[in-house]
Every structure is written in C-alpha cells, then in structure tokens.
Structure 1
Amino acid sequence: MELFGRRAETAALDELLARAADGAGSALVLWGEPGIGKTALLEHAVDAAAGATVLRCRGTRMETGLAFAALHELLWPVADRLETLPDPQAAALRGALGLSPAPANRFLIGAAVLSLLAGLARERPVLVVVDDAPWIDEATAHCLGFVARRVRSDPILVLLSGHEEPDTGPWEGLPSREVDGLADDDARRLVAADVPGADAATVERTVRAAGGNPLALHELPTLGGGEDEAALTPSAEPVPVGPRLRRAFCARAEALKPPTRALLLLAAAEGRGDRHVVHRAGAGWGVDASTWDEALRSGLLRASGARLEFRHPMIPAALYDGATVPERQAAHRALAAALPDDAVEERAWHRAAAADAADEDVAAMLEGAAARCLQRSADAMAARTLRRAAELSPAPADAARRLAAAARAAWDAGHAETARRLLDDAERRGGEEPVARRSGGLRGILEFADGSPERAHHYLARDMGVVDGARGAVELGTVAVRAAWSAGRSDLQREALRRLLAVDVESDPGLAPVVPVLRAWWACYDETGEVVPTAPPGTGDAVGRLATAPWELLPPVPLVQAWGVEGPLSDVLGLRAAQLRRRHELAALAMVLAQTAVLDLHAGRWEAAESSATEGLRLAEEAGAHHVATQSRLCLSSLAAARGDDDLVDEHTTHALTASAPRGVRALSASAYWHRGRAALFGGRPQDALQHLLPLGEPGHEAAHTTFALLAAPDTAEAAAQVGRADVVASRLATVATWAERTGAGWARAAAHRLRALDDGEASYRAALDAEGPGDDPFEHARTRLLYGEWLRRARRRADARRELAAAADTFGRLGATPLRARALREQDLAEASGVRDTTGPPTGLTAQELRVAQLAAEGLTNREIAAQLLISHRTVGHHLANVYPKLGITSRAELARIDGDLRLRAASPGR
C-alpha cells in the first residue's frame, strides 16, 4: 500500500532495519493520536524486513488484564526454540506462556526473551513489532521494555506504537518519534486514491474535517453527511464518524470515570471551547476538581485559561457520535441552562439539539438566530439554523417559510443542490407562490444557474409579480431578460424586457436611475428579431450606476463586448468580486469571476484571466452552478485556442456542449463553437474553422446566437477569405459595419476596416490599427498587424512588413499565442530574405513563394491548407510544388520533409 506524505518516517525505519542487518540493534516507539498512521508504518517495516524473522503482537483491551497474554502472541511462532535456552530461563518462560506451572520470575522471563531473540538473531535479523502497545498487559510491557533497552549489540529491531510520548512507564527512555498528520496536499492525494470518484468538494471537505488523520481520510468520504446532513450544534455540524474512527478515538475515554466521560461529552457538545460554560453545566453531573484533573491528564482535552481544546478535531466528533441520544440531549439541556442571559443564539442552538418534538418557541428562537447570522454574512450557518427551525415548526406554513429562507441562504452560501432540496420541501409544505415570495424567486435563479434558460425565463417572469418590492421584481426581470438572451430567444427577451420596464420603481430612489441603463444595455428588437440599439450604454455615468447593483442587474460580458464598453464594467466587476468575497456569497462570486476572466482575456491580462476562470470554475462546481462552471471552462478554452492547445480546447468545449446543448443554452453552445473555430483558424485550418463558425448565424442551429454571430464575424470572414468564400466575407462585413455605425463600438469599427482591407489593402489596414489601440485588445491589434504585415510582404515592401510582423510577433510572444507568433516569424523570415543564394548547401534557385510553399508542405500541410495560409488557390500551390521538386532534386513530400531544416535556413535567388 502506498504511504502518502511519509517519506521521512519510512526513510527512518529503513535506516534502522539496515543498521539491524549490520548487527546494530535498536528500538523505536512511534507515537501519535489514534488513526494517525502508526500501524501503516509498522506494516511498511514488516514488508521492508526482507529475510528477517518477524515477531509481532497487538494490544487489546480484552486481554489487558491477562498477564503475559501479549507475550504469548509474540513468541508462540517460535515456542519450539525454548529448548535452546538455559534451564532456569526456559522454565520461567514456559511458566509465563502457560506451558508449565512454574512461578513467574519477572527478571528470568525478561532474560529468557532476550536470550531467545538473540539466538534467533544469530541466524537472521529479528524484527519485533508491537502495535497498540498501551493496551498490552502490564507484565508483557515490562518484559519488552527490559528487552528493548538491551538489544544494541544484536541484529534486533524492536518497534512499538503508542498514543503518547514514552516519558514514563515501561517504555521510558526508549527512542521515540511522533507521527504527525498529513499535509493537505498529501491528504488530498490519499482521498483521491482511496475514493477515485470523489468530487473536489468532497475531497476538500474531508481534508478540512480530518485534520491530516489518515484513518479519518479513509473513512469520512464513505460516510455521507457533512455540511448538509449533519445535526445542528452551536458552532458547526459534527463530523460524521464511522465505527473505526469511533473505536479509535473513544477507546481512551471509555477507560475514564463516568463523571470524566460526562465532562468530555459536555465539552464536545459545547463546541466553542468555553471552559466556564462547561464548568457550570457539569456542576450537576458530579464534575469536580478531580474530574477536571483526570480529563486533562488523559491527553484528550487541553485547557489554556478559559479556553478548552481537544487534541484533535476528530475527538469531539467521535465522543459526540459515540454518546446515546438521551446523553446528547441531556448535555445540551445542561449547556443551555449554563449560558449567560445574553447568549441568545447559543441557547437556541442547544435547546434545538435537546428537543425531540415540535416546539414553536425554540423554532422562533432559531429563526431569530438565523437572522443574526445573515446580518454577518454567515449564510451557511443561517441555512442550517433555519432548516432546524423548520423541523421544529408545528405549523406547515411556518415550516415552509423557514425552509424557503433556508434555501435562499444555502444558495447564497454556494450550495445549489442543498438550496434545490430545501426549496422542493418548502413548496410541498406551503405551495409555490408563498415560497417564491419568501425565497426571492429562487426557483428561476436556480434554473438559470443549472437548467433550461427558457424554463428559467418562465419562473422568473412569473415570480416578478410575487416577490416583495420593486427591487426584487427588477432583479428577477433582469435575470429573465438574460435567460432569454442565453436561450437565443429574441421573442422571450422582448417579453421580459417589457415586463421589466413596466415595474413601478418610483418608490425606490435607488432603482429609478438604473432601469434606463438596463433598457440601454438590452436595447430592443424589431419584429424580425434584429437588434435596434439605443444610445450606447457606456456613455455618461451609466456603467457607474451599476457599481453597487446586485449581480442580477449586471449584463453578460459578451453583450458588454458587443457594445465595446468593457473597461468600465471591469472596474464594476472587480468591486463586486471584493464585496462578494467579504460576504462569502460563493455562487454569485463564481458568476462574477467567470465574467471578469473574459474581460481580462480581452484586455491582454491572460494570466489574470486564467486565474479568475480557474477559481470561478472551482467555486461554481462546488456550488452546483454548472452553467457558470461552463462559462469559466469556455474562457479557458478561448485561452487554449490562442495558445495552440487544441486538446484542451476540445476537452473544454466538449464538456461545455454536453452541458449546454441539451438544455438549450445557446449562448454557451455558441461560445464553444466560436472557440473551436478560432482554434482551427489560428492553426491554419480555415475550412475547419468555417464549419464551426458558420452555424452561429444559422437560425435553428443549437449554436445560433445573434450576439456571438456578431462577435465572431471577423473570424468567420477571415476564414472565409482564405477558402475563397467571398459571399461569407461580404455578409459578415455588412453585419459588423452596420453594428459599428449604429453603436460606435471601437472593436466593430476596427473589425470593419480590417475586413475591408482584405480587398482594399493598406488604407483600411491603417484605419483598423488607428481604430483599435494596442491597449484595447492587444491580441486583436496584433492580429491586424500580422495581416497587414503579410499584405506588405506580398506587396514587396519588405522593410514595412518586417516592422509590422516584428511588432505582431512580440505581442503574440508576450501573451503566449504560440501559433500566431510562429506564423508571424515565418512571414518575417520571408520578408527578411536578401536574394543571396546559400553557399553552404546545394543551390536551390527557389523563389520566395516557392520556398514558403515548400516549408509549409514539409510541415505536412495539404495543398488547400497551404493555399488558405498564403491566400492563393490550391492549384497555384500545386504549380509551385511542381517547380520546387526538380529544383531540389527530389520527387516527393517525404523527401521534402527530410530537408525541411535546410529550407528554413536557405536564402532565396535574385528572382525573389
């Protein structure tokens, strides 16, 4: 079995074994808390002791009182060797092992065991292994202590395991080594290896709860429970404890006096480490000074002033889990009575834990406690408290109200599945409308996060008229518009926008200036579904008005990109992310991070984009907000496309389409198609690129989406130009130019000039570069310079071409856009050709274009792919290759590939 994070310990054991094999005996006590991995280390030593005689025993509570019971287990395999001992020692050892009625002589027995082991060691090294040494009988313990201190001159290694450092008792004076808990990274590896199907949230929850204890790491993932299912306690839920953990941690407590065990249970149930409260609660349980002394001497509990602390976080969980229900209830009643008058929340928690029937008074106390939790942004605790309040509510309507509030708190805490279950339970008890009102229209929000956007639109639009206040209606209405946009349904978007604009916001001064901004963001549609923009929403302080708005009012980033006002919104999202972090609203934070990543990507902050997308993906998956997770994945796929990592693009987009296409989330499907198209385009496969990009504008397709068709239009036109699809180029140019004229968006103006340049040439390239500064979107600016440089090279303006291509290559290199950097450098090589033949190899006489074709053919590109890159026909490529082969003295592409290195260094002929 692989031991994670135990390299130092196993190395120490291996060294002791090697020394014993060389004749230098020793002993070592491995000590640490139950379940920490001492037995696993002993097993490692047994496995590593090749060729040694291994004798082992294990202490058990059942045999603690039987003299020499452990020694009998240890020596029974070699009992036949007693005949080799001197008679007095043999007789004494037979008596200890129950083989004769000889009286026990402790010294003779110890000497006999030492002699027996020494005799065995003359044949081969001996390894003595004693696991759970504190539980072996006292007689064996003293015997083995005697032996362990006297094996230095023999090839004997004695290994023992215990719970405490051996500074007293039979092992006093022996070398010892504490076994600590695993580091978090090693703990994660252990859980992943032990439970291969465990999701990231389960792994993290297990690592957090186990405190590095390997037994807990093995057992916790299989127990269920955890944050959502655990019983309520004052500070948090108890960790579920399995039978092995319970036995390991409770064994020592069971040997203590009843009042001491009661004290430990009180401390475990109290949960906060308040010594004064535990002291007052234990007054009626026979807890006195001697009880405290025994509890502290047990090593299970520590005290520092007024604070109590268990030695390991699993100990209170095991003690609490090992107690009977009546014992737990009695402990909580005692603690509730012992709390000061102002500890209202703690008293409510303890009274709830002690209750075994419906109790409205306690439920109301818990509801008040939950309200205070929400005030300090402790959403997860509020959800647990409200759920327990619902369990104690006698009236179904009260239970439904509290469950609805619990569902909203669970969602805000980032637990979508828990929120969905609570919401379902609330609706069963109280009906849809009251629950929608109390949860703030949570059903539609959950559906929007992980479901069908059309169904989300239905719920959100329905609940706009149910929730309290204009603010709630505006928030739901905005998400309804966004859901319709996500579904690619302009008709539903018009309907939701109409409902949103009909909300009476005059009563809320904060909303009145926001609604016009929302209308500007979402524009409106004519009867054909075409966008009819109003004034650009980035003008004036429109974006700034959203700085303090909830996430529901923020527009989706692709729409922001279309309007060309990413900069102001980036500042808004940064502010929102900081606020959500402070409030621990993880689901909303994941949404904001997914959008921030896209803005960072287009601003050239690729490392920041990758960081935000990765964090957003983790939070969204933990929260169960799968559409948000897909958004983060798609940002990572966009990065991968620019970096030339086709495998990663395929992985992320396949995952995205699997999640989005069946649910009709066309915005996400369109984004996946777009990134696949860009990956193909950057990789020199324009025909493949078109297959992915054209569906964005095809009505009825799973990836058809107006906004993404607009944003992808420049890529689509570039790919179309490379394969000779002039009709597609003209169509996409018209789309982009119309949008640029209506909105004035900088990216659209630049893109329109760039697309015109495919026909017009230099003037349009210069206009495109002037329209998009390098600071707006450095990647797109560099793409324009690359295309311009290629045009200049073909126009034989080599110096100008080198300048543009070098600038493009520098930007691509800084960003990590490998495919386009390679393309820019290849074009630079062609532009830098001087016309002098290479005298270091056979003369070729290739023209510049023939050399370029030969290089690409040597890389394995087909004639059509070469044609697409060089903007010539595939027939022209064939003509050039027909000239190249005789000039190089070859007859096939295979031979061309073998001389590719020479081609890259060879200068062109004067005919270039």
Structure 2
Amino acid sequence: MELFGRRAELAVLDGLLARAAHGSGSGLVLWGEPGIGKSALIEYAVAAASNAVVLRCRGTRMESELPFAALHELLWPVVDRLETLAAPQAAALRGALGMSRDQAGRFLVGAAVLSLVSGLARDRPVLVVVDDAQWVDEASAQCLGFLARRVAAEPVVVLLTEHEDPASGPWETLPALAVTGVAEDDARKLVAAAVPGADEALVDRTVRAAGGNPLALQELATLEHGSDDHAPPEVGPRLRRAFRDRAAAMTPPARALLLLATAEDRGDRHLVQRAGAQWGAGSSTWDEVLRSGLIRATGDRLEFRHPLIRAAVYDGASFPDRQAAHRALAAALPGDAVAERAWHLSAAADGPDEEVAALLEEAAEQCLRRSAGPVAVRTLRRAAELSPTSADAGRRLAAAARAAWDGGRAGAARQLLDEAEGLCGERAVVRLSGGLRGLLEFADGIPERAHRYLVYDMAEVPDAVRAIELGTVAVRAAWSAGRPDLQQEALEQVRAVRTDGEDALAELVPVLRNWWSCYDESGEITPASLDLDSRTVGRLGTAAWTLLPPVPLVQAWGIEGGLLDVLRVQAAQLRRRHELAALAMVLAQTAVLDLAAGRWAAAEASAAEGLQLAGEAGADHVAAQCHSCLGLLAAARGDSRAVAEHTTQILEVSVPRGVRALSASAYWHRGRAALFDGRPQEALSDLRCLADPVHEAAHPTFALFAAVDTVEAAVQAGDTGLVEAQVDRMERWAKRTDAPWVRTASHRLRALAHGRTPAAEDSFRAALDGVGADPFEYARLRLLYGEWLRRARRRADARYQLAEAAEIFDRLGAVALRSRALREHALTERPASSRAPGPAAAAGLTAQELRVAALAADRLTNREIAEQLLISPRTVGHHLASVYPKLGITSRAELARIDFAAGLRLRPAD
C-alpha cells in the first residue's frame, strides 16, 4: 500500500540506504505509538534495499526472557557463514544460538555478530531490521546495540522500531526518529485507499477519531464500512474495543484459541496447538481463527496483524481466562522448558505462591549458569513478588542484587539491596549477598565508607573465603583513600580470620599479608621473599578477583612476577561469567602491567575496553582507573591535550569522594606531561603535591613512583631543595624491598643529584646495569645519560646513548621525548670540514648559538630557552651576547625579524 504523508521519513531512509551503498553505515531507531506506521516504513526500506542482504527479526513479549532469542531469528538464514569467523567468535556465536554447549560472553558474541555482518557486507550492503525492539531479549539487545554503534565504516544499516523514546535503554546512543501521526489531508487519502468509494461522512468520522494514527485510520474505516453505528470509536480504549468486538463475534473455542495465541507471545504454533487440543480446539477452530484476519500462520509461526490486536484481545479477557490460558500453555511445554513454564505459571498466579516462586528461582539459576544475568535478575524479582514470606522475598532480592552487580548494573543492585534490607534486615542481607554493599561502595562510592562496610561485613558472612575477600577489598579501599591507619586495621582483620580446614586458603593468607604490608613499619614482614612464579600463582588464577591487590602496590614492591598471567586468567573467567564490573577492574590493572612492559597497544586496548565496561556498569572508580592508564600513556606519547582530558575525568570522580590514589595518579600524569613537554616548573608544581600530606592528591605509593620525575623536574627548574629528600625516600625503599626497579631508580636519582660532577657517571652506569623491563624508562635513562655526556663534551659517547634513546622512543611512539633526544643528538655533531659552510657557519654561529638564537627569535625568555636546552639562563645570555655582533644586530627585536629557515635573511618590516 502507498505510504501517505511520510516524505520526511522516507527521505531519511533513502539517505541511509544511499550512504550505505557508498560504504558508510548507520543505525536508526524509529519510535512511536503502536499503529503509527513504523512497520510500514520498515517494509519500505526493505523494498528499497533491493540489492542488499536483509536480516530480520521481531521482538516478542514471551521471548524477551530468553537470551539471544531475537539473535537466533535474525542470524538463522546466514548461520552457514559462521565458518568464516575466527574460532573463538564462531564458538561464542554457536553457544548463543543454541548450536553448542559453549558459554557465550556477551562482548565476544557482539564482536562475532559484527564480524559476521561485516563479512556479508563485503559482497553487498546489509540491512538489519528489528521490529518491536522493545520486546527484544536483553542479550540480543546488547549485541544489536554493539553492532549498530560500530557500522559507521561499513555498508550496513541497522533499523529498529520501538514504542517509546529510546533516550534511555539499550538504544540510547543511536540516532532516533520520532514517527508521528499523518496530517489531515494525507489521513483522508489513506482512508479513501483503505475503503474505495467511502462516503464523506465515513471519512470525516474516521479522520476525527484516528488522530493521524495510520492503523486506526485503516481499521476504523474497515470496521465502520457497512455499519449502522454512526458513533465513531476513539483511538485507545474504543479502538481496542473494536478489536475485542471482532474477537467476541467468534465462537467460544475460537476465542479461547485466540487467547492462547496472545498469551504464548512467541508465535509458537505447535505449542498453541498442543495447549488448544486440551480445550478441544480442532481443525475447524483453527480455520475460524485464521479466517478472522486477526492472525495468520506462516509455517510453524503465528503472527498477529498488528501488536495492538494482541494487546486488545489479551487485555480484554478476564483474569480467570488469562490464568487458564497460561496454565494450559505451561502444561503443554516440554519438561526441560523450566524458564518458560515458570513465567507462564507466574502470569497465572493471583497471589503469593511458593511453588511458582521456587520454580522461578530454579529458572534464574539456569540463567546464571548460561551467563544470562539480566534475565536472572528479572526472574528473581518476580520470584520475590510471589514469595509468601518476607525472609524468602528478601533472600531472592539479595540474590537478584548480586546477579545485577555481576552483570554490571550497579544502580539496579543498590535498589535491590535496599528492597531486600527493608524485608529482612541489614545483617541478613549482608550474609545473603556476600557483603555486596561494601563492594558497591568500593566500586563507585567513598572508599572510607566502603572500608567501614567491608570490615563490618567480614564478621557477618558465613565462610572464611568470603570474609578474606571482603577484608582484602577493605584494605584496598583504605589504600585508595591514602589511609595507612585504616589499611592496617583491615589487614589485622584479615590476619584474624580463622582458616581451619581451608588448606589452600591458609597458603594464601601469608601472601596477602605480605602484599598488603606497605604501611606495616614493624619490619616483621619481608615481601622480597615472595615468589609469584610458584604454585601460589596457579591458586590465585582460580581465586576471586577480590583477593588481588592493586597493581601499583605490587609494582612498588617489585613482585609483579607472574601477576599478568594471573590477571589474564581472571579476565577469561570473568568474561565467561559475564561479570562486567569485575572484568573492567581486571582489564584496568592488566593495562598497567602491559604499559610497564612496553606493550602500549595492548595496554590501550585493555584500558579502552575496561572504560567502556565500567561506564556501562556504573563503576566510576574503575572507569577512572582506565582513564589513569590512558592518561599515563598519553603523557608518555607527549599528547598533553589527551592528558588534560583524562585527568579531568579522574579528578571529577576522585576528589569529591576522597579517592587519593586516583587523584595522585592524575597529578602524576599531568606532571609527567609537563616535564616531557619542557615545562619543568609546571611539572614540579603538580608533582610536589603527591608528598604533601594535606593535599587532596597525597599518596605514598604514587609519591614513590613520581620521585624520578620530581627530581628531574627540580634539577631542570634549578630547585635543588627537593632533590635530597626524594633521593633519601627512594634509597630507604630500596633497602626495605630490594626491588630491582627501586635500586635502578635510586642510582638514577643519585646521578641527577650529582649534577655535572664526575660522580654522576658511576650512578648512571649503575642504573643502566640494573634497569628493569620497562623500555620507556630505560630510554629515559639513556637520554639523561646522553645529555650529561654531551655537557661533559664527550660527543661520541653522547651520540650513542642519545641515538639508542631516540630509537626506543620512536618504536614506542613517545613523540616529545624522541624530539628531545634528536635535538640533543644534533648538538653532538661536528660539521664536516669539506662541507660548504651553511648560513649559520658563515655567520660564525656555533650549533648551540644557532639553537639559542632561533628560540629567542620565537620570543622565548632566557629561562624558557634554558629549560629547553638544559643550560642555565646565564649561559643563554652569554650565547645571545655572542650572537648579536655575529649577525650584525643589537637587540632581541631585530633577532625576531631574522628568517632562520631562509638562510638568516632579514624579514621585511611590517
């Protein structure tokens, strides 16, 4: 049928399809009330995309509880293309589609769907159509949202229809187009097309009643044609009444069969037939139902002509009739369909019912085993509603809260915990949820408050393993807050946990005590004796992520050893279980270790994925950790703008909540960015905050890491007052831990403290002999040594060190420091005697005088020039005093007019 009054909408669809034909894809959500014409626009797009591969599915109310149901319908026509995918993606998608027992992590499934669709699009454009997206199951919705947000560079269009404004929900970031009613002129044309020869009175009544809704215009005109009732039904209740009246005109067996079809909601014709057979519905009944025009059968599927018909028939039935329909459908289901049976029986329940609640709880457990956390949450909530006692309802709500947290929905978890505590009390919920309140507070709240919750909850949880997990997170929260006293308090609680009969746990407790002993000044613990390559690593790889300390602290002790392997094992386990918030935290820590090992691309990928997961989970602290890793990487690359963006994001979260570890990381990254950009005074202003006990960014661990940067900035800025204290801090830590990186850093700081004296060289060489695995810091050390050698006029030795440093910086992508190394390297070169003198040489300028003059011509002050060239402002003045007579000028203003790029020629005056 012709579309009336849809010129603007059709132009949008035509534009999307045209851009896709040229390789630029997009997603679009068409939303509006039922019957407004969304499906008609979808059909137009399908017809217009004649050269495209079309993949279609429709959301249904019943299948909204079945993970990947919509994805199954969408991809089944191209399931043979699974063989073209990488093995992990193919396995994940087979598991999601029910073709294997493989457990499917949501993000791997999403990546597999994207790869599959992109592969199809290499041959011709792809149109993905999802009608009634409000009923799409959550697992499919996440995958489809993942796909729609990533097709900008592919010839793929993803079209979805929704009843509500998608400003919130799975489609919230996609472009949306509101589909509204048609104008009166177009409405009249539509009625005339639906009922040829309709008189003006019928057209007028229909247009007035329908309010521009195309379905209402067609249905009302059809229903009224030939009717003696001249009172037009209104849109809404009266339109639904019109549909119910059509159903009411059918025989009782046909009405019963129609009600079964509305209650079933998945369009499973065979299930409706089995349930209908219990009520005596035979072939003649089916014929009557299909002749009504309200429903049609295609193969083994049943489809209503429009969702409004389903709603009208179902809502119009009495509650006892709906109960009977759901019970009949539950009885007709196969024995292994636990979830579907549970939901049908819950729809039939008219009050508390422990038997149905227990069945729903069993279904939720199955969902959790399939990593279908969001469905489990809804199922447990419904089980709580049907629970006869407050204790059972609270228990199920607490389990739902835990499932919501594991699934990355912190806000929902908090709300469920509040409801559970209102039913059965705070202490009971602590036991039932495993101390979830403290974990939520740790993830996105105030760390000192999280510490209080967790320490209290240790005594409430029923087993030693969970108590030690909570205690470990409590110590971690205190470390994040920069509170050694609270950290020690929580550590004592961990030590006090009885591990009788828990052999594996008894082995872990000493390790945890050592790891968390950063502020234990008693000296009784010697973590340098730890061996993370021992069997302890294997034990940690299967333990909870909560037992792992933050990577910066492990790095400070120099015992990271096999921790990266442990984290990767943890990440794989969390992916399989679809525990998004925990996975984001592990990815953030993995990124730090990859960054320290020089695997910058891997670090960036892990931090970016962790940031996305943390944002979706509402885990603000984890998101800030990911920003911290990306900020550290940006500083090393010399990208000051990115550093400013990431650190601003960190401080917006960390400062109001008192998360000093995050605030300290932000100030550290800003200081490093300024230092690498040749702004030592600005760098020093940020870096000195880390050791200032009253500052919001004060944190001992990060002050230790920043010591090498602080001393370098202080030396360049001529502020030697800080140097000795920083050297002493590092040497004391080296004696305590004997960590290789700390010994190297101590020699490096001592070399900087020695300045230009010969004693500095011994310290530089000692530092180079003991350098660790971080190639970036190794290159920085060689750069510092090369600069010292150049100032000592040992040009050949300096060239070697500087060239090596520049090569490493180039490989890593550290742009600013590579430029600095190359500038220093250029200053070590002597012009060949046979070479014709250049303009600078002809004027008698040395290489250093030329650099000073060029920077002065760019209007830099003597101090700024000194900072860039690592010389004193007095030396800059001396060089300029030599430059002026050689160039025949007398002032800095004349120097600014000299074009150094054009052979020292004088620029014309303005």
One fold, TM greater than 0.5?
yes
Cα-to-partner distance string for 1:408-441 (whole Å, 9 max, x where unaligned)? 0110011111001100111111111000100000
Find the partner of 1:780 among 777, 780, 788: 777
Counterpart position of 1:90: none
**Which residue of structure 1 lines up, in the alignment, with residue 839 of structure 2?**
841
Cα 1:413/1:703, change in 2 over 3 Å: same
Q: Which residue of 2 aligns with 1:752?
A: 746
Instruction: Provide closer, same or farther for how the CA distance between residues 764 and 411 of structure 1 changes in structure 2, counting only shifts above 3 A.
Output: same
Say which of 373, 380, 403 aligns to 1:379: 373
- How much has 1:336 moved relative to structure 2? 1.0
Q: Distance in 1 between matches of 2:638 and 2:400?
A: 46
Q: Give the alignment partner of residue 657 of structure 1, picking from 651, 672, 676.
A: 651
Within the candidate set 311, 315, 331, 1:324 is matched to: 315
Q: Is residue 2:358 matched to residue 1:358?
A: no
Structure 1 residues 756 and 374, CA gap change in structure 2 (3 angstroms):
same
Letter in 2 for 1:769: L
Q: 1:294-317 CA deviation, whole Å, 9 max, x = no partner?
A: 86998987756xx64879xx9779
Q: CA deviation at 1:560?
A: 1.6
2:161 to 203, 216, 228: 216
The two structures, once aligned, show a CA RMSD in angstroms of 4.3
3-state secondary structure, aligned to 1:36: helix
**Is 1:899 aligned to 2:895, yes or no?**
no
Q: How many Å apart are 1:343 and its aligned residue? A: 3.0
Output aligned runs, 1:286-365, within 5 Å. Answer: 286=281, 288=283, 291=286, 308=301, 319=310, 323-324=314-315, 326=319, 331-365=325-359
Deviation at 1:825, TM superposition (A): 1.0
* Percent of pairs with identical residues: 58
Aligned equivalent of 2:457, options 463, 466, 473: 463
Q: Deviations over 1:84-112 (max 9, x none)?
A: xxxxxxxxxxxxxxxxxxxxxxxxxxxxx
Aligned-pair distance for 1:853? Answer: 2.3
Q: Report whether the alignment pairs 1:583 with 2:580.
A: no
Q: 1:500 to 1:864 in 2, by over 3 A?
A: same
The CA distance in 2 between the partners of 1:829 and 1:648, in whole Å, is 29
Distance, in Å, in 2 between the alignment partners of 1:864 and 1:534 is: 45
Residue in 2 aligned with 1:814?
811
Taking the aligned partners of 1:359 and 1:421, their CA distance within structure 2 comes to: 24
Partner of 1:84: none
User: What is the TM-score normalised by the length of structure 1?
Assistant: 0.71
Aligned residue number for residue 850 of structure 1? 849
Matched, 1:803 2:809: no
Q: Is the 8 A contact 2:856 2:892 kept in 1?
A: no
Q: For the residues of structure 1 that align with 2:463 and 2:530, how far apart are their CA atoms? A: 26
Q: CA deviation at 1:291?
A: 4.0
What per-residue deviation string (whole Å, max 9, x for no partner) do you get for residues 597-654 of structure 1? 1111111111111111111001001001110011001111111111222111111111
Query: Comparing 243-252 with 742-751, which one deviates more in the overlay?
Result: 243-252
Report the Cα offset of residue 509 of structure 1: 2.2
Which segment is superposed worse, 740-749 or 459-468? 740-749
Partner deviation per Cα, 1:571-591 (whole Å, 9 max, x = no partner): 111111111111111111011
Letter in 1 for 2:701: T
User: 1:592 matched to which residue of 2?
Assistant: 586
Q: CA, structure 1 residues 292+521, in 2 after alignment: closer, same or farther (shift >3 Å)?
A: farther
- Tell me the alpha carbon deviations over residues 475-519 of structure 1, each in whole angstroms, 9 at most, x when there is no partner: 000000000000000000000000001000122222111111101
Indicate conservation of the 8 Å contact 1:32/1:38, yes or no: no
Give 1:488's match in structure 2, choosing from 482, 487, 491: 482
Q: How does 1:390-789 map to 2 (within 5 A)?
A: 390-523=384-517, 525-526=519-520, 534-538=527-531, 541=534, 542-758=536-752, 759=754, 760-773=759-772, 776-789=773-786
* Paired residue secondary structure (2:868): helix
Structure 2 CA distance for aligned equivalents of residues 348 and 6 of structure 1: 45
In structure 2, stretches of 5+ residues that fail to align are 1-7, 22-36, 49-123, 135-140, 150-155, 173-177, 183-211, 220-239, 906-910
Kindly indicate whether the alpha-carbon contact (under 8 Å) linking 2:269 and 2:302 is maintained by their aligned counterparts in 1: no
Q: Which moved more, 1:517-526 or 1:818-827?
A: 517-526
Q: Deviations over 1:771-803 (max 9, x none)?
A: 115xx1111111111111111222222222222
Give the Cα separation in 1 of the matches to 2:499 and 2:607: 35
CA distance in 1, matches of 2:745, 2:829: 29
1:358 is paired with a residue whose SS is coil
Deviation of residue 876 (structure 1)? 2.4
List alignment gaps of at least 5 residues for structure 1.
14-30, 43-177, 192-199, 229-240, 906-912
Question: Which deviates the most, 424-433 or 867-876?
Answer: 867-876
1:244 is displaced (CA, Å) by 8.1
| 2:40 aligned residue (7, 26, 34) | 34
Shift of 1:834: 2.2
Report deviation, 1:736: 1.4
Q: TM-score normalized by structure 2?
A: 0.71
Q: Is the 8 A contact 1:513 1:545 kept in 2?
A: no
Q: Deviations over 1:818-877 (max 9, x none)?
A: 100111111111112326586343623223332332344455543223222333322322
Alignment CA distance shift 1:374-1:893 (3 Å): farther
Equivalent residue letter for 1:901: A
Are the aligned partners of 2:608 and 2:626 in contact in 1 as well (CA < 8 Å)? Answer: yes
SS at match of 1:216: strand
Change (3 A) 1:226 1:815: closer
Q: Which moved more, 1:369-378 or 1:486-495?
A: 369-378
Within 1, Cα distance between the matches of 2:309 and 2:171?
A: 17
Which AA in structure 2 matches 1:426? A
- Give 1 or 2 for the bigger CA radius of gyration: 1
| Counterparts of 2:894 and 2:260, CA distance in 1 | 81
1-structure distance, mates of 2:309, 2:590: 44
Distance of 1:873 and 1:901 partners within structure 2: 26
Q: Does the CA contact (< 8 Å) of 1:644 and 1:818 recur in 2?
A: yes
Q: Separation in 1 of the partners of 2:215 and 2:613?
A: 33
Residues 461 and 336 of structure 1: is their aligned pair in 2 closer, same or farther, counting only changes over 3 Å?
Answer: same
Contact 1:296–1:302 (Cα < 8 Å) also in 2: no
- SS class of match (1:324): helix
For the residue of structure 1 that corresponds to 2:377, the secondary structure is helix
Q: Cα gap change, 1:680/1:584 in structure 2, threshold over 3 Å: closer, same or farther?
A: same
Aligned to 2:98: none
Moved more, 469-478 or 593-602: 593-602
Mapped to 1, the partners of 2:899 and 2:501 lie a distance apart of: 78
Whether contact under 8 Å (1:638, 1:675) holds in the other structure is yes
Letter in 2 for 1:790: E
Cα distance in 2 for partners of 1:181, 1:299 equals: 29
> Structure 1 residues 823-832 or 247-256, which shifts more?
247-256
SS in 2 for 1:582: helix
Q: State whether residues 407 and 423 of structure 1, in contact with CA within 8 Å, keep that contact through their aligned partners in structure 2.
A: yes
Check 1:766–1:397 CA distance in 2 against 1; reply closer, same or farther (3 A cut). Answer: same
Report how far residue 716 of structure 1 moved: 0.8
Measured after TM superposition, the shift of residue 341 of structure 1 is 3.5
CA distance in 1: counterparts of 2:482 and 2:303, whole angstroms: 57
2:228 maps to none
Deviation per CA, 1:102-129: give whole Å up to 9, x if none.
xxxxxxxxxxxxxxxxxxxxxxxxxxxx
| Partner SS for 1:367 | helix
- How has the CA–CA distance of structure 1 residues 227 and 424 changed in structure 2, closer, same or farther, with 3 Å as cutoff? farther
> Could you tell me which residue of structure 2 aligns to residue 156 of structure 1?
none
TM-aligned CA deviation for residue 724 of structure 1: 1.6
What SS does the aligned partner of 1:547 have? helix
